[in-house]
Amino acid sequence: MAARVTIKTIAKDLGISHMTVSRALSDHPNVQKDTRELVKKRAAELGYVKIAAATAMRGDGTRIVGLLLPNIVNEFYASFANELARICEAFSYQLIIHLTDDDLKTEHKAMQQLREVQAKAVVVVPAPGDPHLMGGDRHHLDGLDVIQLIRQRSVTGREAAILVDDAGAISAAVKHLHATGHKKIAYIGANSDLSSGRNRLEAYRKGLRESGLSEIHELIKTAPPSFSMGGNSAEALLSEGVATAIVCGGFEISNGALHALLTSGRKPGSDIAFIGYGDPSFYTWIEGGISTIRVPVSPLANQTLQVLKSGTADDENAQIFEFQAELVIRKS
């Protein structure tokens, strides 16, 4: 393989100084038009690429953005990653994705690696847990422009946060079901390990109260959220035979519950009312449409871009943005 082509290669090739080459390639005004064109032509011919490391080392920064997610198969994270990646493509940023598995140590290591490559900014869905137990490393964010997504965990107090407020939509879901005649409305959601779990359950309760319904213990299923937990909870509700409607409070839970309904031959919408959480594309096209609590993805991604572009590190006080989840009623 040929030795790599640098501005000096081109300079030597053309018998000019490497600075002229540099200037020509970055459209500096102080170059003869002919020279500039000649240089560009030759550079293209030789297959020159500007080594990013060199500019980075000079302190000119990088075009790297980090994204830290628990995983990338959950359709919400996948579509957020997709949107952010598309945005990065449009702005010629490069997106480094790290999976944290919701583990603090993994998250910490990924942050470290992003510092090493001098990422311009890092978008992170913070792992649950207390970061201060991580060995008191006060530096693991130094020089990093951090944007927290979905979950908030203040560390330096200077991280921006882009959050989702789903309380209104969850309460609305309960009230909608009540308005359409349901009195036994079940809830399947995360337990209180995460603040989002607590908040969603509280929103469900608020919906009940505002509908004049009283809480029935058997209709509330909470546990660490997962696909199978959603399925088990739905099956339990079905076999207990009390609930006439189900509201879900989590992405995986929603899919698990839906799976349980469909594979047991129940039709969401006719046999039992169902309101899911999140909005994978196939919700719109199965069983006449699955009602759901939609978490907006594009607005989150676009706001992320805005924050990326404005920069957070220089700001004294954290910027916090909240987007409303939305109740989408379809056939189920």
Partner DNA sequence: ATGAAAGCGCTAACAC
Partner DNA sequence: GTGTTAGCGCTTTCAT
Q: Site residues (CB under 7 A) for DNA?
A: 4, 6-8, 16-20, 22-23, 25-26, 29-32, 35, 48, 50-51, 54-55, 57-60
Helices (H), the chain: 7-14, 18-25, 33-46, 52-55, 75-90, 104-116, 167-179, 195-211, 227-240, 251-263, 298-310
Q: Give the whole-angstrom CA distance, residue 162 versus residue 323.
A: 8
- In single-letter form, the type of residue at position 70 comes to P
- Which two structure tokens, joined as six digits, stand for 329? 């009623």
Binds a second copy by CB under 8 A, chosen from 78, 194, 223, 329: 78
Q: Give the whole-angstrom CA distance, residue 92 versus residue 53.
A: 16
Restricting to residues 218-257, name those near a second copy by CB under 8 A: 255
Partners of residue 122 on adjacent β-strands: 66, 146
Residue 94 binding partner per list DNA, a second copy, none, with a CB distance cut-off of 5 to 8 Å that depends on partner kind: a second copy
133 binds a second copy (CB under 8 A): no
Q: At what angle do helices 7-14 and 18-25 cross, to 10 degrees?
A: 110
Closer residue to a second copy in complex, CB, 113/195 = 113
Closer residue to a second copy in complex, CB, 92/214 = 92
Give the count of alpha carbons within 13 A of 171, CB side only. Answer: 15
Binds a second copy by CB under 8 A, chosen from 16, 25, 38, 46: 46
Restricting to residues 302-331, name those near a second copy by CB under 8 A: 313
Q: What is the contact surface with a second copy in residues (CB under 8 A)?
A: 1-2, 4, 44, 46-47, 49-54, 56-57, 62-64, 71-73, 75, 78-79, 81-82, 85-86, 89, 92, 94-99, 106, 109-110, 112-118, 137-140, 142-143, 255, 258-259, 262-263, 280-282, 284-287, 313
